[in-house]
C-alpha cells in the first residue's frame, strides 16, 4: 500500500491509475491487512534509519501530508475498510508491537 499512497497521493498520479497498475503487477492480489502506524510526521521522519536519507526522506512534509491523506482515503475505501488497522505508533517498540498483536487478534 505504500506504493499506492506514495505514488497516487504523494506524487499526485491519482488513485485509479496507480491502483490499476498495482493490480496488474500483483496479479490482482490485495492485502489481508493494512497496518498503519499512526505517528506525527516529524516523529516518523526522525525514526528513519538512513542517516543520509533516501529520496523519500528528502521529499519533505508536504509530500508526507499528501501520503497521509492517501492512507486516510484507504481507511475509508470499500476494498480496505475491513482490513485497515490504524495503530498508535507513538509508544515504545514493545508497546506498538503489543498493540499490533491485539489488533490482529493473534
CATH number of the domain where residue 91 is located: 3.40.50.300
Give the containing element (helix H, strand E) for 67: helix 61-76
Question: What does the block give as the cell for 60?
Answer: 519533505
- pLDDT tens string 71-106: 999 999 999 999 999 999 999 999 999 999 999 986
Instruction: Report pTM.
Output: 0.83
pLDDT band, very low/low/confident/very high, at 58 (cuts 50, 70, 90): confident
The neighbour count for residue 103, using CB atoms within 10 Å, is 13
SS3 36: strand
Range of the domain at 43: 2-104
Q: In whole angstroms, what is the distance from residue 70 CA to residue 50 CA? A: 24
Of the candidate ranges 28-37, 51-60, 74-83, the one whose mean pLDDT is the lowest: 51-60
Rounded CA-CA distance 33/99 in Å is: 14
- Other C-beta atoms within 10 Å of 89: how many? 19
For the chain, what is the domain count? 1
Judge contact between 70 and 5, C-beta under 8 A. yes
The answer on pLDDT for 55 being more than 70 is no
Percent of the chain with pLDDT over 90: 75
Q: Cell 499526485, residue?
A: 12
* % of the chain beyond a pLDDT of 70: 91
Amino acid at each position: 500500500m505504500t506504493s499506492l499512497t506514495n505514488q497516487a497521493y504523494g506524487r499526485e498520479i491519482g488513485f485509479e491509475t496507480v491502483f490499476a497498475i498495482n493490480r496488474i503487477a500483483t496479479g490482482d492480489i490485495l492485502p489481508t491487512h493494512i497496518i498503519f502506524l499512526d505517528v506525527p510526521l516529524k516523529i516518523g521522519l526522525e525514526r528513519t534509519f538512513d542517516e543520509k536519507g533516501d529520496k523519500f526522506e528528502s521529499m519533505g512534509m508536504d509530500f508526507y501530508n499528501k501520503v497521509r491523506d492517501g492512507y486516510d482515503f484507504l481507511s475509508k475505501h470499500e476494498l480496505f475498510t475491513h482490513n485497515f488497522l490504524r495503530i498508535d505508533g507513538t509508544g515504545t517498540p514493545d508497546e506498538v508491537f503489543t498493540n499490533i498483536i491485539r489488533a490482529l487478534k493473534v
